[in-house]
Structure formats: C-alpha cells, structure tokens
Amino acid sequence: MEQHDIEEDEFGFSRNYFLAKELGNSGKKSGHKLADIDVVDEQELREALANIEQKHEKEIDELIKTYKSSYQEWVCELRCGFGLLMYGFGSKRTLLEDFASTALTEYSVVVINGYLQSINLKQVVITLAELLCDQLKAQQKFTSRSLHKQQQPFDTRSMDDLIAFLDQHHLEDSDSFICVLVHNIDGPGLRDPDTQQYLARIAACSNIRVVASIDHVNALLLWDKKMVHTQFNWYWHHVPTFAPYKVEGMFLPLILAQGGSSQNVKTASIVLQSLTPNAQSVFKVLAEHQLANPDEEGMPVNNLYATCRERFLVSSQITLNSHLTEFKDHDLVKTRRDTEGQDCLYIPIPNEALEKIIKDTSQ
C-alpha cells in the first residue's frame, strides 16, 4: 500500500510539472528589451567609482613597502636570466613602473601596455633592435664593415629577422640587458596565440629580460610548458596591491553604462601620451588640418607626408606609415575616400573634443 502511494505521488508531481510548462509556454512573452533600460552615462559612473573612498590605506602602504624592499632581489633575479611574473589582486601598474624607475635606471626599459585593445608588437621589436644596436655601437662591437651589413632599416625587416638580430648579438657585460616591462601580458591586445609565441621568443633572447603582470584567472592557459620554463623562464611573485584598476579599466566598457564622447576623448588622450613625441606631432598635424578644414573628407596621405617632412617629423614614407599604423591600431585615425577617389585620413572625434585633446597633449 505504501509503495502504491509513493508511485501516485511521483506521478502527480510529474503531471503537474508538465502542465506548468504547457501553461507557461502558452502565456504572452515579454516585449521588454535590454535597450529599453535607462542606464547611467559611462563617464558619470566612472566618476562615481573614482570617488569611492579607499579602505585600509595604512595597511596597503605597509604592504607596498615590503615589495619595494625586494627590488634589489628582483634585479638579481633578472641578472640571473629569469623573467619576473607578478600576480595577485589589484593593479600592479604603479608598482612595476616604480620598480623600473628606481631599480632599473642602469638599463634600457621598453614598456608595453597590454591592457590596450590592440598592440603594434612589431614596432616594439623594432625599438628593441634599435636600442641593442646603439649599445653595441657604444661597445664598438660593430665595425664599419659589420655596420654595412646591417644597413637594411629595422622597420623593413620581418619579425623573424628582428628576433634573430636580438638573439645573435651579445653585449660584453653579461649583466647587461634590455628590459621589456609588460603591463597585463594577458590583456586583450596580447592574448592571441601568435602574439604570445612572439613574446616568448623575444623573452628567450640573451639580451632581453621580461617583467610582466597578469590579472586574468585563465592567464596560465596562454602558455605551454616550454614557454613557461624555457622561454619566459618565469620567477613568480605574489604581489597583491589591492589598488583599483583605474587606467586598465579605462579601455573596457562598463556593464549597463552608455559610452559617451567624453570617455572617447579621455581614452584618446591617454593613448597619445603613451606615444613618442614625433608620433604626437604627426597626429597634431592631422588634427590641425581637420580643424582648419571641417568640410573636407580628411587629409590626403601625400599631403600629410609632405607637411611632416617639411617639419622634420619623419624622414621617409615608411616612418610615417609606422606612425599611422599605431594610430589605426588604437582607432585614433581612420581612412575614407573623397569625391576624387583619393584616400584621406581623418580623426573620428568631434572638433570640439579634438581641440581639447591637442591642448592636453601640448601641456
């Protein structure tokens, strides 16, 4: 009798379940859309986040002091051939920049901001090759004959040739190296497998040392065993700073926030400040033309090259193209055709905002 009651209860539960599903499906579907939600402006939301009072400041300051006391130990690890990988909760950008500016003053340092949406890695490798070439010249390791062989400009070489150059030439002092400081090596601009392979090959060069930070929970999936232990040769450091990701978060959209033009201006200003003075001047030439000729489709590439050549900002079309590639990678500059079918460059930012960007960059 009890068994029969249990079976009846189970049958009744199953029947009620399917009846409820049928009734639910027969009802009207909601016509509400996510776009109908009245969301706050992104700039207002970011300002509110910036005004949140930070807690435990005293304890955090003490924690940062313990990291700073380890700077010389970190330098020693770099000299021994290791790469430094910093992990832990909180932005490590300020900590790594302080380490570079105080403990690595004897070395050349190249910074990669991996939190940007796109990175021109070849331009980074060209910079490394130029720095190494200058150091070899200073040590008189390049004779006039060997210099003749190296006459091909670095910006015309392939990535493989550039990495081969970094690896085949050795500095006299075994403790000398060029440091590559990578903020967020797991960032969106560096996350693809090809870029990580190139970074690993660069790190494996005898004159290069890498100091990097990671924040993504799945960052370790970027590398295989060879990359971790042989090429990057990571020495891991747990350095939680509990600092907000203010700069890193600037380039990522906030959920349920509308992106405003003011945010685009702020992002463009930060990107410009990270570029070389010559690149900033080239951008300024294009911006001035756009402000002076608001009705035109943009500035023809040939005209931009002629103006920049007159002002000694570029020495060749190749140099200008490298600057333009940098601008396009960061969505600072776009191309469109005018009525005559000519390719013109323009800055996709309102003129009023563009004036503010030029003013901020000139300061």
Task: Identify the residue with better confidence: 33 or 275.
Answer: 275
The per-residue pLDDT for 34 is 43
Q: pLDDT by residue (tens digit) across 92-102?
A: 999 999 999 99
Classify 71 as helix, strand or coil: helix
The per-residue pLDDT for 41 is 67
Residue 273 pLDDT > 80, yes or no?
A: no
Evaluate the CA torsion angle 76, 81, 82, 84 in order and state its sign: positive
**What gap in Å lies between CA 275 and CA 273, rounded to an integer?**
5
The per-residue pLDDT for 317 is 86
* CA 176 from centroid of its chain's CA atoms: 26
Please state, as a whole number, how many other Cβ atoms lie within 10 Å of the Cβ of residue 266: 18
Q: pLDDT by residue (tens digit) across 135-166?
A: 888 776 555 455 455 567 887 888 999 999 88
Q: Would you place residue 31 in the very low, low, confident or very high pLDDT band (cuts 50, 70, 90)?
A: low
Task: Identify the residue with better confidence: 353 or 335.
Answer: 335
Whole-number average pLDDT of the chain: 82
Report domain extents, the chain: 57-141+155-238, 261-361
The lowest-confidence range among 7-16, 133-142, 301-310 is 7-16
For residue 182, what are the β-bridge partners? 112, 212
Q: Which among 175, 172, 141, 169 has a CA at the least distance from the CA of 154?
A: 169
Give the strand pairing for 208-213 and 178-183.
parallel
Q: pLDDT by residue (tens digit) across 173-225?
A: 666 889 999 999 999 889 999 999 999 999 999 889 999 999 998 999 999 99
Multiple choice CATH, 261-361, 1.10.10.10, 3.40.50.720, 3.90.1150.10, 3.40.50.1370: 1.10.10.10
- Average pLDDT on 67-80 reads 96
Burial 170-205 (b: 16+ CB within 10 A, else e): ebeeeeebbbbbbbbbbbbbbbeeebbebbbbbbbb
**What gap in Å lies between CA 281 and CA 159, rounded to an integer?**
27
What is the token pair recorded at 78? 């770099």
CATH number of 57-141+155-238: 3.40.50.300
The per-residue pLDDT for 32 is 53
Burial 209-221 (b: 16+ CB within 10 A, else e): bbbbbbbeeebee
